[in-house]
Amino acid sequence: MRIEHHQPFRLTAVFLIGLTVLITAKQIAAEINAPTPQNETDPLVTFNNAFRGEYSRAKTEALSRVGPVIIVEGTHMVLVRDGRRTEAEIQPPIYQALKAVAHIPFAVFLMFDQSGFGQLTDERIVALRDYRKLIVGAESSLDDRGFSVSQLQRQRKIIDDSLAFLDAAIENRRVEKTALDDFARQMAPVLMQNVDDAARAELDAVHSHVTEWRHQMTPEEWKALHVVVMGAHMPRDEEITMQYFERLLDEPMEGHRIIFAEGLWEEPRALELLGTHLVDGSAGVAFFGEFMRMHRDLLSDAAKVYLQNTLLPSEPKKQGE
């Protein structure tokens, strides 16, 4: 379901850019006004502070000219186009149900994995029985989740096997690490079936909304489209929506039209990161003939040579090694 927001109280693209400028301006002002350990009239310090201000201005200019932007924000994504925000859910109820059931054996594993595998105390047994009640309650709601027949059978197996392991732990008042590892390995194949179904559900939802938005854009707007994916550190590598947009836009990697905003959970900060990518990409092309050159440490090539050849050279191998 698509929801369009045109009310004044909702953030528009113009307001987001303005807020980004305000935040950055405050940061620059604080840096300029803060005392430094060096002479406050040091001309290099003065110049570097001025550079920061110019860098901020350049990012603002870049954002003011940017075309449509799709921002992926967890369970939904947003199209920012012509000063309007259009939101769409990308993780349908079936996705959430598949994920929640898959978390049950994972939760059982976590109950014991870091416990030391000693005798379970009375207090711990009470807590495990409380967890069991939660699992049984979740099982009672499976019929109303929209599962297919095969999916429903799978969810019941996941829950029944998890309850069986938990019941054995409660009865024996302990869990051996070998038994816990065996449980995890046995559950993995059936959990991955849930993962497969969930991935398809999310990708189908993303593709449906993006296709609709594409039909609303001119060819020029589509070519100018940028995508910012907000996410946490751990799922960054091959994150599902990053894979989708890289394939859709024929982008071989992150950094040009597609950006991963790690740990940035606010749209203004994500847009500021987009501005940084645009400015650094333009400078990378102009100075080095490579859009992505400034997306990695500018010192990286020099560091590699110095470390390998001078500071930490490899020791020559002895004969026969």
What are 5's strand-pairing partners? Answer: 85
Given a contact cutoff of 8 angstroms between Cβ atoms, the answer to whether 285 and 270 are in contact is no
> How far apart, in whole angstroms, are the C-alpha atoms of residue 243 and residue 230?
14
Query: Concatenated DSSP letters for 61-79?
Result: HHHHH---EEEEETTEEEE
> How far apart, in whole angstroms, are the C-alpha atoms of residue 212 and residue 228?
18
- 198: left (phi > 0), else alpha (psi -120 to 50), else beta? alpha
In order along its 321 residues, the chain shows pLDDT tens digits of: 433 343 333 333 333 434 443 444 445 444 444 554 555 688 888 888 888 888 787 777 767 677 899 999 989 999 999 889 899 999 999 999 999 999 999 999 999 998 888 899 999 999 999 999 999 999 999 999 999 999 999 999 999 999 999 999 999 999 999 999 999 999 999 999 999 999 999 999 999 999 999 999 999 999 999 999 988 876 777 899 999 999 999 998 777 899 888 876 777 777 787 777 677 777 778 788 888 787 778 888 888 888 889 988 988 777 766
Contacts of 150 (CB under 8 A, 6+ apart): none
